[in-house]
Amino acid sequence: MHLLVKGIQHQLTGEVLVPNSKYHAHRALILASLADGVSRVHGLSDARHVQYTVQLLRGLGVKITTDGDTFVVHGLGGRYRPRRAAVSAGSSGTTLYFMIGLAALSDRPVSVTGQKYFRRRPVGPLLGALRQMGVRLESADDCPPVHVQDHRPTGGHVQIAGTLSQWISGLILLAPFASGHTTIEVQGELNERSYLELTVAMMRQFGLQVTVSDDWRRFDIEPDQEAVPTDLTLPPDIGSAAFGIAAAAIHPSDVLLRGMTRLEGGPADHPEFHFLDIARAMGVPMELDEAAGGVRIQQDRPELKGVTVDCRDVPDMLPILSTLGTFAYGESVFQNIAHTRLKESDRAAAMLQLNSMGGDLELSGDALRVRGVEGLVGAKLSSFNDHRVLMSLAVASSRARGHSTLTYPGAYRISYPTFLDAMNTLGLPMSVENGAGGSAKGASRRLEKEVAKPDLAAGITLPEWLRRRAASRPDDTAVIDVRPDRDEVVTWRGLEERVERAAALLLRLGVKPGENVAYQLPNRVEFVVLSLAALRVGAVCCPIIPFFREREVGFVLRRSKARVLVVADRYRSRGPAEELLGLPARERGELEQVVVISESAGPATMPEGDSDGLVLHDWEQALAETELDEAARAALDALVPTPAMTAQLLFTSGTTGEPKGVTQPSEHLVRAVSMEIKHLGLGARDAVWVPSPLAHQTGFLYGMTLAMVLGVPQIVQSEWDAKRALQSLNEHGATFVQAATPFLSDLVKAVEDGGEMPRKLRIFVATGATVPRGLAERAGRVLGADICGAFGTTETCLGALSAPSDEPGQRWGSDGRALDGIELRVTDDQGRVLPAGEEGNYEIHSPTVFDGYLDRPDLTAEVFTEDGWYRTGDLATIDSAGFLRITGRVKDVINRGGEKIPVAEIEQLLFDHPAVDDVAVVAMPDERLGERACAFVVLKDGSGLSFDDMVAYLDEHQVAKQYWPERLEPIGVLPRNPIGKVQKFELRERARGLRPQGA
């Protein structure tokens, strides 16, 4: 579902009725509920947030009925009588903030909660202030639900930050009913003063007295007051009118906003009245039409100009002002916007999506700068389920060329239920569409029936998937190889031809079915070709991480017994082929043939020196010399790989520090990606971006393999560069990516630094290192994509995954839920399954669990329980809804940006240093990579060891740079328990505040 907006060029005409103010409605209903008697509030508001206030008050025993267009409220005289143990604020922040404290006026304990995703909204500062006032309450995590005792507040001296006016209003509304005098002092910057002015003015209408300092930073309230019933009429809602004003301002128009009878007033009339002054300063031609009973905007040609605005005066108007600024001459500067980033979404970042349409917006410190542009183009946008963002972007899209789509199309109902009707009445085509316009759901119906059916998909090998696409869609794009200087596009037909020739080359080199083919290549089309070629002849793909050096490469060669290795002549500043020749013959295992691929176009730079028995080949030359004649094709056709055959051998590291070879059959790999396709609703119009190393399971499986099974383009990038990535994302229409935290963090930073927002990216599955929840939430806003949490291992493939349809807090605030066909559980150390919410050992039962560790049945047996569940080695909780949250790791492994550092191995190397007496390596938290390694070292008497000394030592021992500790911390003695085991939890705590050393 999305909101479809069609850009127009014709004049807007007609009239719309401005709804009544929801701000007045919230306050009037609550104050009326506190009075002793019947109050009448004229002018119903059908905003969903107001209905949440009505429902919560009814849950507290207040009788609220309607009489025509009037709320009739039977107040309880300051003493609520809850009908149940818990009442809900729905998704209304105003309702929640106002009613947490007032719930203390109940005659029994009551919990104040909200909708599921709303239960992650932080209210810590408000709770702290309420406790200062004597309210007795509890919250597990400073978020709803909040358990409030039936204890009248005592009053006192209360201090609270001025960040959100609703927190302060909640205190002011409660203070008259305290048993003692209350003084409320605002600390720091005061935002949204106009809302406080409205709160105090309406309290006085109900007979409650508040003494306010001239600067509105101190409130004195006497105790034991009584609210009196009153009749009042709700004024028109300027916040809703603003969207009609903006629509009429950016188009030729003759529009009447009926119900608005004033163009001048003050905050007590409406907290957003100042918006009218700003709109007029920008050149919106508003005139009061008394005869028609409204404000008229009439113009033949929009002529707006930039302004400078202090957003503390118009707290919720930043989104629609950004739209106006986009079509104004010159620059508009919206200052003091920090508090706007704490609303339903980060509204400043959300409006940066206008840049993807051709706008010119920039976040600069505590200001948003908007430079006017001539026009916009339609785009796919996200509303982040924020009603003001949705409506503001929709109005902007009405002036764009083409169509635009916005997510969470129903968000407008929260505050302006008649928004769509109003816009269409004026001539702006807006409609809620179900799956049209290229959505994944619509596209998925054109896929082969097996793609999203894991049981069927698993029976088809990757070479067969390739053959199908080359036959049915030969000229469609299969692979896009993004290089620093150029892009190479390969069709399905072209890919099949390359794979067939490479497969014939492997046969010529003596590769046999079941044999491991090793290759160390960055993300480029040759990796894809070689992988499919190995599978085509029934061999096993054994990719090696590109940053591995002689030491790690030698280990893989010895354990895999690979006879053929393919490497690049250059990788960044290194020469992998030259490094290979530097390995002693005994370190190469059974290696016989080495194929070298050129980093750039042309012949490869072959390594110099003694090949010591190895036969060297240039990749392009070897392919050219490989005949695809009738005999070669017959030899290939005689080989028919089956789904049950081993397709992949990946080496990973565990607590022992020794890399372990994980073997997976083809049917597991294909089943795993089909499960994800089904879970996420991926379709034929998607395009898969692959920044993760293809030699890592994330890139190999959920990049390359997923794109092959889905039959869509895969976009591979050999050298990571966030700016180049943004460019390629938009040039090639990438819609899906699965990658680790650093890629997500770097993309967000690139956009925030002024880069173009991804126009079509809709899903980013964050795996590898633990993703900070704050980063995930921010990334969703900045990138305009759904950030989905997940958990998987090389041994199991994905076990848990969230989905775009999940509530935001679950989507990016958890590690997902079990995919269909997979079971998850948490057990204690005795193997007993724990109830929902309890932390324990996280275990998986899945049809995609690996066959076993290569030649290590002992290690394989260790990771399985007696009843066949895989022990992940992680600690976790699973809530009652089935959402997983990883809480820690049992295994002593550091996860650096998705790469697990073999801690024991690094410790052993450092322990062998002549200056080191003892050493322990632990995780040091890092925002970008999740974790980095910190080495705590006990030095021998009289010895010294600097950080640079340690780096040089590890470099000398040919350890991959990604495995080097990034901080050296001398320590007198390592903390140990009575049996001598190092207490690493103490060291991890010490490392929490440390930062990396060196460059």
Six-digit token pair at 61? 């025993």
Comparing CA positions, the residue from 709, 638, 629, 636 lying closest to residue 674 is 709
Pairwise CA distance, residues 286 & 262, whole Å: 11
> Which structure tokens are listed for 516?
């491991």
Q: Is 298 annotated as a binding residue?
A: no
Q: In the β-sheet with 930-939, what is the strand arrangement from edge to edge?
A: 916-926, 930-939, 967-970
Cα(161)–Cα(186) distance, integer angstroms: 6
Tell me if 343 is assigned to a ligand binding site: yes
Determine if residue 714 is labeled as part of a ligand binding site.
Answer: no
- 93 annotated among ligand-binding-site residues: yes
* Angle, vertex CA 814, rays to CA 808 and CA 819, nearest 5: 100
Report whether 480 contacts 713 (CB < 8 A). yes
Q: Within its chain, how far is the Cα of 728 from the centroid?
A: 20
| C-beta separation of 542 from 697 below 8 A | no
Q: Residue ranges of the alpha helices (H) in 590-643?
A: 619-624, 630-637
d(CA 124, CA 141): 8
* Alpha helices for 35-121 (secondary structure H): 48-59, 93-102
State the Cα–Cα distance between residues 366 and 136, nearest whole angstrom: 36
DSSP helix/strand/coil, 937: strand
Cβ neighbours of residue 176 under 8 Å, at least 6 residues apart?
A: 203, 208, 209, 210, 221, 222, 223, 224, 225, 227
Q: Is 962 labeled as ligand-binding?
A: no
The answer to the question of whether 22 is labelled as a binding residue is: yes
**Strands 12-17 and 63-67, how do they pair?**
unpaired
Helices H / strands E in the chain, number of each: 32, 54
CA torsion sign for 261, 265, 266, 269 is negative
Q: Which residues contact 178 (CB under 8 A, 6 or more apart)?
A: 133, 134, 152, 153, 154, 155, 221, 223
User: Is 166 marked as a binding-site residue?
Assistant: yes
Residues 6+ apart with CB under 8 A from 103: 60, 80, 87, 110, 112, 146, 148
C-beta atoms surrounding 117 within 10 Å: 16
**Is 745 annotated as belonging to a binding site?**
no
Match 């143990």 to its residue by tokens.
Answer: 85
Query: Is 316 one of the annotated active-site residues of the chain?
Result: yes
Residue 806 in 3-state DSSP?
coil
What residues contact 322, with CB distance under 8 A and at least 6 apart?
A: 334, 351, 354, 361, 368, 370, 392
Catalytic residue among 313, 316, 346, 892: 316
Q: Please state, in angstroms and rounded to a whole number, the distance separating the CA atoms of residues 850 and 796.
A: 6
Contact in structure between 13 and 426 (CB atoms under 8 Å): yes
Query: Of 678, 680, 682, which Cα lies nearest the Cα of 707?
Result: 682
Reference 535, options 470, 597, 469, 461; nearest CA is 461
Residues at the annotated binding site for 3-phosphoshikimate? 22, 27, 165-166, 316, 343
Q: Which residues are catalytic?
A: 316
Residues at the annotated binding site for phosphoenolpyruvate? 22, 93, 121, 166, 347, 388
Residues at the annotated binding site? 22, 27, 93, 121, 165-166, 316, 343, 347, 388
